[in-house]
């Protein structure tokens, strides 16, 4: 065979593949020796049948962030299989994954994270290596207005059930990432110069945040007591495609499109740190590949905006009058301000957000405008709720 640079490189990779098969060299060493990156080496080895694609069990993947994450991971990495394990509550929507369901590296299983037996079976039968848990009761207002039983079941007992699954199956589960929220840290005053760090004590003010905090504390305890390889992330408010219309951003948008009043609690002064969902997915991607088990990482975009600013921005972009804004009395426990310090994930894992707020909100508005049928199907499914959209 003629000695071209391509042939030489191919032969070198074959040689190194043999050493890899014998367990004498790692992927990262091969990447260094061949001048390729780790993904390229891994893909080449999958093609040669030397490596089986790793299975990620995504819990709650039919919701807003989980479905964005599944699409992100399948598009970016050819060597992962994803199993989406979701109970399909009112917030779960397989419509979010219509573009993904034909992908041979994707499978859906309907199940509840509180069902430890079923979770264990899924992990064992599919040799799942990673669990990423997005499953939660996630609507703060519902946790305050109605009973919080389901919040405690899913956000505390469900997390316990995943931890038990990871603890009992160490030969399978190499990492569990628990997706949590900045709301566990409580509230800041408007003029407070501090931001939430990973060391900030939990001070939840609503049942949703308390239940999430309970799950997070169990993760810490299982890491310390049993060495379960778990990482907890605390992210700020997300916005972007596929968010259920009960949440502030899409709700304001749909109401504005229909010339209906946008209802803002408590003078619209509540401040959240808004992050575009794709940035959050990339942060989780960094945690999956570079995060250290036992650690906690805050994720945020340094993008504090009041709900009044959000509503005004939406109306400006849609060319609608600000007179659509209607201020209504505040709801109990409504935190005034969240502000997140994400310097640890930046410093240690090299992640930083890429999407600025103006671009992110324009992309979001465009997505919803082009996908009104997605919203209509939610309204069809839930007649009671449709009154509020």
Least distance (Å) from ligand NAD to the CB of residue 136?
A: 3
Q: Segment near ligand NAD (CB under 6 A), from 73-81, 167-175, 192-200, 232-240?
A: 232-240
CB of 65 to ligand NAD, least distance (A): 4
Place of tokens 């990492």: 175
Nearby residues of 162 by Cβ (< 8 Å), 6 or more positions away: 59, 113, 119, 131, 133, 176, 178
CB of 243 to ligand NAD, least distance (A): 7
Q: Say how many residues make up the chain.
A: 389
**Least distance between ligand NAD and beta carbon 214 (Å):** 12
- DSSP reduced 3-state for 86: strand
56-64, 97-105, 262-270, 377-385 -> range binding ligand NAD (CB under 6 A): 56-64
89-148 residues near ligand NAD, rule: CB under 6 A: 89, 91-92, 112-114, 134-138
Residues 389, 383: Cα–Cα separation, whole Å: 10
Asked whether position 172 contacts ligand NAD by CB under 6 A, the answer is no
Indicate the residue among 20 and 276 with the shorter CB distance to ligand NAD. Answer: 276
Q: How many residues bind ligand NAD (CB under 6 A)?
A: 30
Using CB under 6 A, which of 56, 58, 62, 206 touches ligand NAD? 62
Instruction: Identify the active-site residue in 106, 130, 185, 208.
Output: 208
CB crowding 292-315: b at 16 or more within 10 Å, else e: eeebbbbbbbbbbbbbbebbbbbb
Residues 6+ apart with CB under 8 A from 250: 243, 244, 364, 368, 375
Position among 30, 65, 253, 365 found at the interface with ligand NAD (CB under 6 A): 65
Return d(Cα 355, Cα 300) in angstroms, integer. Answer: 12
Residue 319 tokens, joined: 């060319």
Interface residues toward ligand NAD, by CB under 6 A: 59-60, 62-66, 86-89, 91-92, 112-114, 134-138, 154, 158, 179, 181, 212, 235, 237-238, 244
């Amino acid at each position: 065979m003629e000695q071209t640079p391509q042939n030489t490189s191919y032969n070198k990779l074959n040689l190194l593949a043999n050493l890899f098969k014998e367990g004498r060299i790692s992927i990262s060493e091969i990447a260094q020796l061949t001048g390729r990156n780790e993904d390229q080496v891994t893909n080449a080895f999958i093609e040669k049948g030397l490596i089986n694609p790793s299975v990620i069990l995504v819990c709650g993947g039919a919701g807003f962030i989980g479905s964005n994450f599944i699409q992100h991971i399948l598009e970016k990495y050819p060597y992962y299989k994803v199993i989406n394990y979701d109970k399909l509550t009112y917030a779960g929507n397989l419509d979010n994954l219509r573009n993904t369901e034909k992908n041979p590296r994707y499978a859906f299983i309907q199940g509840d994270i509180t069902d430890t037996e079923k979770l264990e079976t899924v992990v064992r039968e599919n040799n799942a290596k990673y669990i990423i848990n997005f499953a939660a009761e996630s609507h703060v207002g519902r946790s305050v207005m109605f009973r919080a039983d389901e919040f405690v079941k899913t956000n505390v007992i469900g997390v316990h059930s995943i931890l038990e699954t990871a603890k009992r199956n160490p030969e399978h589960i190499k990492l569990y990432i628990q997706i949590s929220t900045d709301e566990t840290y409580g509230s800041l005053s408007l003029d407070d110069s501090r931001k939430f760090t990973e060391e900030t004590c939990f001070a939840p003010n609503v049942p949703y945040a308390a239940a999430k905090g309970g799950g997070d504390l169990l993760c810490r305890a299982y890491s310390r007591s049993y060495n379960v390889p778990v990482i907890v992330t605390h992210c700020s408010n997300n916005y972007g495609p596929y968010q259920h219309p009960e949440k502030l951003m899409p709700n304001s948008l749909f109401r504005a499109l229909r010339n209906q009043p946008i209802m803002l609690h408590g003078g619209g002064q509540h401040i959240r740190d808004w992050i575009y969902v794709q940035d959050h997915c990339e942060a989780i991607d960094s945690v999956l590949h570079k995060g250290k088990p036992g650690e906690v990482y805050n994720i945020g975009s340094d993008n504090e905006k009041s709900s009044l600013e959000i509503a005004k921005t939406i109306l400006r972009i849609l060319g609608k009058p600000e007179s659509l804004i209607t201020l209504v009395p505040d709801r109990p426990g409504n935190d005034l301000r969240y502000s997140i310090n994400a310097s640890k994930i930046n410093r240690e894992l090299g992640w930083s957000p890429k999407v600025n707020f103006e671009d992110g909100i324009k992309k979001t508005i465009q997505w919803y405008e082009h996908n009104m049928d997605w919203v209509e199907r939610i309204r069809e499914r839930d007649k009671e709720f449709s009154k509020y959209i």
